[in-house]
Amino acid sequence: MDEIAQYLGHTHTRITASTYARFRPEHLRKAARVLDFEKQ
């Protein structure tokens, strides 16, 4: 998040995290497992 915040010009990483954290792979991992389970 620190690097992304710097790249985007955000003064605080909390701005970056609140806006972009939902795009982190870990955020959707549980949903992906649920969907994968339902395909079986």
Q: Quote the pLDDT of residue 10.
A: 92
CA–CA gap between residue 40 and residue 28 (Å, rounded):
19
Select the more confidently predicted residue: 18 or 38: 18
Q: Quote the pLDDT of residue 38.
A: 56
Mean pLDDT, residues 2-25 taken together: 86
Whether 16 and 9 have beta carbons less than 8 Å apart is answered as no
Select the more confidently predicted residue: 9 or 37: 9
Is pLDDT of 34 > 70?
yes
Domain ranges of the chain: 2-39
Mean pLDDT, residues 22-26 taken together: 74
Q: Which residues contact 32 (CB under 8 A, 6 or more apart)?
A: none
pTM of the model: 0.48
